Amino acid sequence: MDATGVSHIAICVRDIDKSLKFYHDILGMTVGYDRIQDTTTGGLPHVYAHARKTRRQVRLIISEEENSPTITMTTHPDEDADGGPIKLDQVGISHFSISVPDLQGLADRLASKGVEFAGPLESRLNAQGEVTSFYVYDPDGILLQFDKGGG
């Protein structure tokens, strides 16, 4: 395979407006589009567990860097989503990670906004007392990791 990168990460959420308050208002991601899509055509019925009529789809831009992946949030108006978020030891995509230059600054900002951390920040310190990465929960309980990048 000759891949050039990851284009997007898609997550299904229960309340897209609530999730936008987290991803847009708190994290600062930019909304690329917000649209309603017909899910009864175009091969989409084959990738759903249940027949769905429409989905609301919001594309979030993580970074202005060229070829940066985006997050596509979806929900199904007037229909409940199935299932729930998983943990690191369960089958499926357990989380995604976003690299940021100032982990401590971001952690402080998120804590001041009442964002729920997955464990104490102190457990994520290196020998020099610096934050190496940390996890938070989004409004649906999906794990989101922040790190400094570089593997």
Model pTM above 0.75: yes
Antiparallel, parallel or unpaired: β 143-147 and 95-99? parallel
pLDDT at residue 122 above 90? no
Q: Are 107 and 148 in contact (CB under 8 A)?
A: no
Backbone angles phi, psi at 21, to 5 degrees: -60, -35
Query: Mean pLDDT across the stretch 137-147?
Result: 95
Query: Mean pLDDT across the stretch 40-66?
Result: 85
pLDDT of residue 98: 93
Which positions ≥6 away from 84 have C-beta within 8 Å?
140, 141
Helices (H), 4-79: 16-20
Q: Which domains does the chain have, with CATH numbers?
A: 1-80 (3.10.180.10), 84-151 (3.10.180.10)
pLDDT of residue 83: 86
Query: Mean pLDDT across the stretch 3-13?
Result: 88
| Reduced DSSP (H G I as helix, E B as strand, rest coil) percent helix, strand, coil of the chain, to 5 | 20, 30, 50
